[in-house]
Amino acid sequence: MNRLIDISKADDILSEYRQTPIGQLLEYHNLDKPLDSYSSARLLVGMCMDNRKHLRIPDNFSFIIRTGGANLRYSEFKISYAISVGGIQHIALIGHNNCGMVNLKSRKDLFVKGLVEKAGWNKNEAEDHFTHFAPKFEIGNEIDFVLSEAKRLRLMYPKICIAPMFYKVEDNKLYLLTEK
C-alpha cells in the first residue's frame, strides 16, 4: 500500500491532474468541495461494481462504467463512445482493496453452489461457466491490475489522460497511485 498517494488537501493532487476533471473528482470526493452543476459529463470513471463504493460527485459530472475489478476489457466500445460522442478527455480508473475479483479460484465452490441454489443452474453448467469466465475476469493484485489497465488504455487512447486510482473501503477515500 506504499504506492498510494493520500489526498487530504488540494496540494496533494499531482500537478498533471490539478485543474482537470480528475482533480475535481478528488476534490469533490475527498475534500468535500461543494458540488457544482453540470449539463454534460467531463470525466469517465471506470470502477468496480462492488456495492461498498460510492463516489461523492455532482449529477451529470461523469460517465461511469462499473465492472468487476474495474476491468474495462470488453468495455472498449463504451469507452470509445464516451470519448468520441461524449467528448471525454479524462478517465479515472479506480480499483479498491478487498476486491472479489482477486483469487477467484478460491470462490469456485461458493460460485457454483450459488448458481445452483439461487439461479436454478445444474452443477456441471455452473462449473463450466466458472471455468470459462473466471480466467478472463481474475485481476490478481488490485493495485498492479489498475496500473496495468491504465497502461493498456493509454496505448489504445494516447490523447486521453488516464489516472490510476485506488479506493480504500475502510476509509471511503480515493488515492492516486504512484507509477514506477
- Could you read off the pLDDT of 59-86 as tens digits, one per residue? 999 999 999 999 999 999 999 999 999 9
Residues 123 and 47 in one domain: no
Asked whether 45 and 64 are in contact (CB, 8 A), the reply is: yes
Say what the pLDDT of residue 161 is: 98
Say what the pLDDT of residue 2 is: 84
Say what the pLDDT of residue 32 is: 98
Residues 86 and 111 in one domain: no
Residues 16 and 54 in one domain: yes
Residue 140 has what DSSP assignment?
A: S
Asked whether 23 and 43 are in contact (CB, 8 A), the reply is: no
Average pLDDT in the 107-131 region?
A: 98
Say what the pLDDT of residue 1 is: 57
Residues 24 and 34 in one domain: yes
Q: What is the pTM of this model?
A: 0.94
pLDDT for 180 beyond 80: no
Name the average pLDDT for the chain.
97
Residues 18 and 62 in one domain: yes
Query: What are 67-70's contacts with CB under 8 Å, separation 24+?
Result: 68/100, 68/101, 68/137, 68/139, 69/95, 69/99, 69/100, 69/101, 69/102, 69/137, 69/139, 69/142, 69/145, 70/46, 70/94, 70/95, 70/96, 70/145, 70/146, 70/149
Average pLDDT in the 147-152 region?
A: 98
Domain that holds residue 68: 4-101+141-177
The 3-state DSSP class for residue 58 equals coil
Residues 30 and 97 in one domain: yes
